[in-house]
Amino acid sequence: MTAIPQLPERTPRAKGQPTALDGLLVVDFTRVVAGPACTQTLADFGAEVIKIENPEGGDDSRAYEHAEIGGESAAFLSLNRNKRGIALDFTKPEALAVARDLIAKADVVVENFSGGVMKKFGLDYASVAPTNPRLVYCSISAYGRKGEFALRPGFDPITQAESGFMSLNGFADGEAVRTGPPIVDLATGMSACNAILLALLARDRLGRGQHVEVALIDIAVAMTAFYGMAYLISGKNPGRFGNSPNGSPSVGVYHAADGPFYIACANDRLYRRLVVDVLERPDLMTDERFANRRARSANKEALRRIIGEVFATDVRENWMAKMKKVNVPVGYLRTVEEGFNAPEVRDRHRLSRIEHPTAGSVPNIESPLSLSLTPIIDPVAAPLLGQHTNEVLRQKLGYDDDQIAKLAAAGAFGAPSRDV
């Protein structure tokens, strides 16, 4: 069994530092990946994010099976840091009234329900904007909120497949392969966060909020990037190329006598350094089959075989040292365990442990964003289901104990016996 990594306690931020989004109230109706990724970034930089969940199980990602600690899944912990959680049963009118009260005070609402759900409960943008015209309301969906497919549910791997994005991943002689991490979901979350911040900037100038939409299918198409653009220009369908884009034989995975590494010599200058200074094979530069990028691509199998045979004659550390000395782009091909324990990662101080109410402490992967004046807040672990219901209702809405007790008795927070 692999040993669980030992992570340091996190160093607190300097006292008195401002946050980028201080005072911003976000009401978060999202679940699973794209929406929670978006709102977690807002929370990391000081927004007050109130996550609303169904009391019967909550966010689906709570039950994801990757790993769990203290009764919380790795997926949920990784996507819901720095949020306060409340539980509301939308089948109860009393719960919907609480949701509307929160929206009336919010700067931002984010939701990623299937099409029509928020409208069904009277919580869609058209229903709530009249009472809060400065509201920025973000809808995240698979296919958008308008058009023929607006009511169709969708998921990251489906949009990877349908957009053509998946067709670019894998090896030419194999099937298309989805990415391991849900890259379209995560990119959609980042894009939604960007869109919200743009709308908030526009609100400062125009004095009113707006409806923001981000769709997974749109993000997946955009992520085909220059391969998609090349198709539009040439009409030629791009294929899969494994680890070597455009079939470049000097980009990809190679194996030393004792392990793999990845090199990226994508131009003539870097290729010359590789074959002359590292491999000590100047003939691979003068041979007309390999003299320029076009020729190397045409003869890629022969060149890959030659380069591979040379690399197999020595151990990885020796090759790495030679390549680093002459600035040939190279990196170890690591597992997650190796990567997380590598000096390049540890030097960034992005891995730590933070307190958790049931586990004592949980691992934390910090935001990758660094702001010198307004850094991320000191992280707080993702909430237990309904953990902050009473607290939020008292502090944000001014409800007293009697009002909260009546809501609980009416089942607004789930079964009346539920401890909130």
The predicted model gives 28-49 an average pLDDT of 98
Asked if residue 107 has pLDDT above 90, the reply is yes
Please write the tens of the pLDDT for every residue from 316-348: 999 999 999 999 999 999 999 999 999 999 999
The predicted pLDDT at position 3 comes to: 61
Q: Which domains does the chain have, with CATH numbers?
A: 25-225+360-409 (3.40.50.10540), 260-332 (3.30.1540.10)
Predicted structure pTM score = 0.94
Radius of gyration (Cα) for the chain, nearest Å? 26
Asked if residue 1 has pLDDT above 50, the reply is no
The predicted pLDDT at position 419 comes to: 45
Asked if residue 100 has pLDDT above 90, the reply is yes
> 372 is written with which tokens?
């010198």
> 351 is written with which tokens?
């891995």
Token match 């904007």: residue? Answer: 129
The predicted pLDDT at position 2 comes to: 59
- Confidence class of residue 91 from pLDDT cuts 50, 70 and 90? very high
> 217 is written with which tokens?
């299918």
Q: Pick the catalytic residue from 59, 107, 156, 185.
A: 185
> 168 is written with which tokens?
């670019």
Please write the tens of the pLDDT for every residue from 359-411: 999 999 999 999 999 999 999 999 999 999 999 999 999 999 999 999 999 99
Q: Is the dihedral of CA 124, 125, 131, 132 positive or negative?
A: positive
Contact 397, 388 (CB under 8 A): no
DSSP assignment of 141-208 equals: ESS-SSSTTTT----HHHHHHHHSSGGGSS-TTS-----SS-HHHHHHHHHHHHHHHHHHHHHHHHS-
Asked if residue 191 has pLDDT above 50, the reply is yes
Active site residue 185: yes
The predicted pLDDT at position 244 comes to: 87
Q: How far apart are CA 105 and CA 397, in angstroms?
A: 9
Asked if residue 417 has pLDDT above 70, the reply is no
Return mean pLDDT, the chain: 95
DSSP assignment of 354-397 equals: EEETTTEEEEEE--S---SSSPPPPP-PPPPTTTTHHHHHHHHH
DSSP assignment of 282-340 equals: THHHHSTTSSSHHHHHHTHHHHHHHHHHHHTTS-HHHHHHHHHHTT--EEE---HHHHH
